[in-house]
Amino acid sequence: MTDMKIVSLATSRKKGTPKTTVSEVSLVREHGIDGDAHAGPWHRQVSFLAAESIEAARKKGLDVTFGNFAENIATEGIDWETVPVGTRLDLGDSAQVEITQKGKECHNKCAIYYMAGDCIMPREGIFARVLKGGDIRCGEPVRILGPS
């Protein structure tokens, strides 16, 4: 089995815009990523997308890279379709999240859709809340723990 790991981290100050990639982020318990527009007291504090999905969008001709779909964390080696809501994940050495939602409804086409020509987050995005805070970096492991 392929190692499951973080391959990209990205944040933005404003919702509905592509995110800027960074090498490290701080997850804050029951809040999300420190400084990210989506952080706060709700169920979609952190967003995930498979790096394989971003690569598939590239192969379809979209000029996209990490952060373009407004995902916070891009992972490698995880088939998100098989990970149920309620699953806990360890990120790096100390952080832990719980999957709260798969996909989302987009009411309006955002800047990402117009820039990229499509947005895969509504179909393939995964959302989580932070159970345990900590700093995480690109290259660190993701461990699936099972349901809470």
pLDDT above 70: percentage of residues in the chain: 85
pLDDT tens sequence across 52-93 = 998 988 888 878 889 988 899 999 999 998 999 999 999 999
Arithmetic mean of pLDDT over the chain: 88
Q: Is the pLDDT of residue 1 over 50?
A: no
What confidence score (pLDDT) does residue 140 get? 98
Residue 134 pLDDT grade (very low, low, confident, very high; cuts 50, 70, 90):
very high
Judge residue 128's burial from the number of C-beta atoms within 10 Å of its C-beta, 0-12 exposed, 13-18 middle, 19 or more buried: buried
pLDDT tens sequence across 116-130 = 555 566 577 899 999
Tokens of 2: 């392929």
pLDDT above 90: percentage of residues in the chain: 65
Task: Give how many domains the chain has, as a whole number.
Answer: 1
CATH of the domain at 105: 2.40.33.20
Q: Which residue range is the domain that position 111 belongs to?
A: 5-147
- Which of 4-8, 51-55, 103-107 comes out lowest in average pLDDT? 103-107
DSSP conformation letters of the chain: -PPPEEEEEEE-SSTTSPPEEESEEEEETTTEETT-TT-SSSS-SEEEEEHHHHHHHHHTT----TTTT--SEEEES--GGGS-TTEEEEETTTEEEEEEEES---SS--HHHHHHS---HHHH-EEEEEEE-EEEETT-BEEEEEE-
What confidence score (pLDDT) does residue 133 get? 98
